[in-house]
Amino acid sequence: METKPTEIGSSKMFGGYNKRYKHFSPTLGCSMTFHIYFPPSPSPSHKFPVLYWLSGLTCTDENFIIKSGAQRAASAEAVALIAPDTSPRGLNVEGEADSWDFGVGAGFYLNATHEKWKNWRMYDYVVTELPKLLSENFPQLDTSKASISGHSMGGHGALTIYLKNLDKYKSVSAFAPIANPINCPWGQKAFTNYLGDDKAAWEEYDATYLISKFHDVSATILIDQGEDDKFLHDQLLAHKFEEACRSANVPVLLRLQPGYDHSYFFVSTFIDDHIRHHAQALEL
């Protein structure tokens, strides 16, 4: 099976190119797709720093690329965008598509320990396999300069992956993240099925818990949250994460945006700020 990425789509945008690729993932045991936005290059030898974007429940690698408009700022700031998929696909595990908030399209960026879901290892895919694949196949990318961001479930993924890998990422931001999953229905459902009843395992994928373990975060964590987001108070729990950051003296900027909901209309409104936040951290 071909582990080397094959280009399956290309479209020009703001002087650069959205490129879609397919490859076989040994980590997940199936074929996966991902997108790269390559900004216009000033020279053939130029290498771009990368910003990983992790999408939310039900999304694929296409949602952010199509809906966010992030390419305009990425082009201006000369940052490449990397958008992976949100779960393994095509494994035909019983029950994988029974609900929209678990299984296909809902990998939660963790490594499942339950035998049935053993292929759901999106944490390893994002942290280890994908960066290695990029560095070996795309010389125009500088994967040693990387930041990470995401929306909803992807915001949860971005925060937890950043906190557990401070040596790999220069900065993190999130839109409406599932910030305290051990205390919300989405997280409890996913963690019970993927990780079993071991609450210590749950805590390893909860940003609000993890923040208390990491005191050497220097870059400000940027979070945008719509005040009219219907999931804010029972699923996302942004205030819990903010409180944990304050207690741990971790720099955080939580911006509550009046009138905005959970959609990509919200994301596209503020994505330029996030691109610039990461560009500054990447010292561009």
Active-site option among 262, 274, 277, 278: 262
- CA-CA distance, 276 to 274, in Å (whole number)? 5
By CB neighbour count within 10 A (0-12 exposed, 13-18 middle, 19+ buried), where does 31 fall?
A: middle
- CA-CA distance, 71 to 84, in Å (whole number)? 16
CB 97 within 8 A of CB 104: yes
> In sequence order, what DSSP letters do the residues of 175-186 get, joined into one string?
ES----GGGSHH
Q: Is 229 a catalytic residue?
A: yes
Give the C-alpha distances (Å, rounded to integers) separating 182 from 155, 175, 196. 15, 19, 12
Q: Is 239 a catalytic residue?
A: no
Active-site option among 85, 206, 224, 229: 229
CB 251 within 8 A of CB 222: no
CA 153 to chain centre: 8
- Measure the CA dihedral 33/39/45/46, to 10°: -110
CB 59 within 8 A of CB 86: yes
Q: Is 152 a catalytic residue?
A: yes
Backbone angles phi, psi at 23, to 5 degrees: -155, 160
Written as six digits, the tokens of 218 are 């220097």
CB 253 within 8 A of CB 281: no
Active-site option among 152, 156, 274, 277: 152
- Catalytic positions: 152, 229, 262
